[in-house]
A and B are shown apart, each in its own frame.
Chain A
């Protein structure tokens, strides 16, 4: 059962191919990590899958529905790279607003809000304006708003950027809990070390998936002891077959 399936998914900006015939398959209920350097196409892939960008060609299905399709929006949770919160509103007002966009009642919102604020450790900041919070706290509010409607599939674009190591560990615990409840989680990150927590990872480079697999198996296959070296291994093979690239190969 696939949660996401793309076939030759391409996104062009003029002559630049942000996604180049991407073939991606994410199994329902797994945590899938999209890894790669800046400009590899991770964020573009996610934005196309959540319907924010128009694909140039190819096909993409999310939860068996061809996208773009607004019908699946209520089953999707999207946390963008930027904090993207209403900073003139309090934490509670933000959560209530996002809850209402998904048609939740006040009671449903109140229950879920209490649970999520406890999880992100912001119970005492509920009535504080978001603009008064630190960067890390804003990120935690952002995650809480993404989870308010208990989505079936989560697209998290660099969710742990600016989050301290202790809280980052908590985030991963929570992602695993979501997975246990059947939620599919797709995470982009350039923290290669934390990507070990994923069930499977896909390495992206120049809009393409250059390798994919279970983290431990990838490291075993490449004879490395970390995912960063594994990525470099595949990137070097790619460069050898592509010829030299203008930026020296990605990063």
Chain B
């Protein structure tokens, strides 16, 4: 292989990208847009969930202490930003509103709620107290937020009144202290964006080279197939790194994402991923006859990475039988490695397995890309 020719190809691809304003916009603006959308949509707490409270609790008059009303205390302890509370006197009407979709839950305190709660505190009485929750489970995220909010209000009320659980969980955060959604999301979206745009741009560029005849033309010069692939790999590893630097800087400035480890490791991982992706793009281009067919590859490129790479939800959330398929999706390695570096602060000694996997992917796909270019009619 001749370094001069590799650099010539690399420079040519750079100039082509620089002169193509739409590609530039695709590389820079699209990932930022998705970061902003996801950042703003998902990083905040769930708020203003409509619930109806029906409080029939009559309270209790306790000597020395005076009037006690546990239901009122629980309601006071509910975060009114999370739950948008309406009050109602009639349970039947409240449930009808729930069924009509006007509220996500009805929280009902019976007449004897305080009395039963007091009785349950006294040992050996076997008495119990309960809050009745009627809930619309059609939106699991909102339903879970309501259940969590009611439980924490209940716990807070118990603690205020001197009650506590016999067992508590002592939590020590090993990694990711105060981590938020964006800390989890940014390392993922960086790899996902580099994967998506590098594969697509190379795919489009190579279909273009095949259709316009430039590929045939350069292959009639001393330029070898391996030098074309190397030139593209060099350019896209640099472009991928620049793209990730840009996104991470915006992530830090706009969303204050945490970077516990050596950020250079993240750039190395992303550059490796870009090399894998450009080889994939070249390989896929050999199956297309014209540029319009590139669109047919979109589901093949996007869906596996979207579902199986762990960019939006952890791999543990994927059914166990499907999880091994994520090993075949290159971004899953860079996402895991980038998250480990940025949130856990891990070094090369801990993420080397992911890097080795990417190197193996790169070697296999680069070889296949060269073979696909060598295939002559």
A101 touches B222 (CB 8 A): yes
Name the A residues within 8 Å of B323 (CB-CB).
none
A53 CA to B219 CA in the complex, in Å? 11
CB contact under 8 A between A52 and B222, given known A100-B5, A101-B8? no
B221 touches A86 (CB 8 A): no
Which one of A50, A81, A86 contacts B12 once the chains associate, using CB atoms below 8 Å?
Answer: A86
A177 CA to B377 CA in the complex, in Å? 35
A47 CA to B377 CA in the complex, in Å? 10
- Cβ-closest chain B residue relative to A105: B4
- Cβ-closest chain A residue relative to B227: A101
A72-80, A165-173, A233-241 - the one binding chain B: A72-80
A52 touches B213 (CB 8 A): no
CB contact under 8 A between A51 and B220, given known A101-B8, A103-B4? yes
Interface core residue of B217, B219, B222 (most chain A CB under 10 Å): B217
CB contact under 8 A between A83 and B12, given known A50-B220, A100-B4? no
Name the A residues within 8 Å of B16 (CB-CB).
86, 88-89
A129 CA to B218 CA in the complex, in Å? 19
Name the A residues within 8 Å of B222 (CB-CB).
70, 73-74, 101-103
A98 CA to B9 CA in the complex, in Å? 10
CB contact under 8 A between A129 and B220, given known A86-B12, A89-B12, A97-B12? no
Nearest Cβ distance between residue B285 and chain A, in whole angstroms?
A: 16
Name the A residues within 8 Å of B11 (CB-CB).
97
- Cβ-closest chain A residue relative to B5: A101
Interface core residue of A70, A81, A85, A88 (most chain B CB under 10 Å): A88
State whether the Cβ of A54 lies closer than 8 Å to any Cβ in chain B.
yes
State whether the Cβ of B224 lies closer than 8 Å to any Cβ in chain A.
yes
Could you tell me which B residues sit within 8 Å of A by CB distance? 2, 4-5, 7-8, 11-12, 15-16, 19-20, 212-214, 216-224, 376-377
Name the A residues within 8 Å of B4 (CB-CB).
100, 103
A100 touches B8 (CB 8 A): yes
The 22 sampled A-B contact pairs (Cβ below 8 Å) are: A47-B216, A51-B219, A52-B216, A53-B376, A70-B222, A80-B216, A81-B213, A83-B213, A85-B214, A86-B214, A88-B20, A89-B15, A93-B15, A97-B12, A98-B221, A100-B5, A100-B8, A101-B8, A101-B218, A102-B222, A103-B2, A103-B222
A82 touches B213 (CB 8 A): yes
Name the B residues within 8 Å of A51 (CB-CB).
219-220
State whether the Cβ of A84 lies closer than 8 Å to any Cβ in chain B.
yes
Nearest Cβ distance between residue B234 and chain A, in whole angstroms?
A: 14
A101 CA to B5 CA in the complex, in Å? 5
Nearest Cβ distance between residue B217 and chain A, in whole angstroms?
A: 4
B220 touches A52 (CB 8 A): yes
A51 CA to B374 CA in the complex, in Å? 11
- Cβ-closest chain A residue relative to B218: A101
B220 touches A84 (CB 8 A): no
A84 touches B15 (CB 8 A): no
Nearest Cβ distance between residue B3 and chain A, in whole angstroms?
A: 11
Interface residues on A, range: 20 to 34
Which one of B7, B20, B221 contacts A102 once the chains associate, using CB atoms below 8 Å?
Answer: B221
A80 touches B377 (CB 8 A): no
Q: Is the interface of B mostly helix, strand, loop or mixed?
A: helix
Which one of B12, B214, B219 contacts A52 once the chains associate, using CB atoms below 8 Å?
Answer: B219
A51 CA to B224 CA in the complex, in Å? 12
Name the A residues within 8 Å of B223 (CB-CB).
101
Which one of B213, B221, B376 contacts A101 once the chains associate, using CB atoms below 8 Å?
Answer: B221
- Cβ-closest chain A residue relative to B205: A88
A83 touches B212 (CB 8 A): yes
A88 touches B19 (CB 8 A): yes
Chain A 108-122 per-residue mask, 1 if CB under 8 angstroms from chain B, else 0:
000000000000000
Nearest Cβ distance between residue B236 and chain A, in whole angstroms?
A: 16
Question: In chain A between 112 and 137, which residues have their CB closer than 8 angstroms to a CB of chain B?
Answer: 129
Name the B residues within 8 Å of A103 (CB-CB).
2, 4-5, 222
Nearest Cβ distance between residue A153 and chain B, in whole angstroms?
A: 12
A97 touches B19 (CB 8 A): no
The 7 closest A-B pairs by CB, nearest first: A84-B213, A100-B8, A82-B213, A78-B220, A88-B16, A50-B220, A73-B222
A45 CA to B15 CA in the complex, in Å? 34
A53 touches B12 (CB 8 A): no
Name the B residues within 8 Å of A50 (CB-CB).
220
Name the B residues within 8 Å of A70 (CB-CB).
222, 224
Name the B residues within 8 Å of A88 (CB-CB).
15-16, 19-20
Name the A residues within 8 Å of B15 (CB-CB).
88-89, 93
A76 touches B20 (CB 8 A): no
Name the A residues within 8 Å of B224 (CB-CB).
70
Nearest Cβ distance between residue B300 and chain A, in whole angstroms?
A: 26
Nearest Cβ distance between residue B151 and chain A, in whole angstroms?
A: 60
- Cβ-closest chain B residue relative to A131: B19
Name the A residues within 8 Å of B19 (CB-CB).
88-89, 129
Name the B residues within 8 Å of A97 (CB-CB).
8, 11-12
Name the A residues within 8 Å of B221 (CB-CB).
73-74, 78, 98, 101-102
A81 CA to B4 CA in the complex, in Å? 28
Name the B residues within 8 Å of A80 (CB-CB).
213, 216-217
- Cβ-closest chain A residue relative to B2: A103
B377 touches A78 (CB 8 A): no
Name the A residues within 8 Å of B216 (CB-CB).
47, 52, 80, 84
CB contact under 8 A between A82 and B8, given known A53-B376, A102-B221? no
A78 touches B217 (CB 8 A): yes
Name the B residues within 8 Å of A82 (CB-CB).
212-213
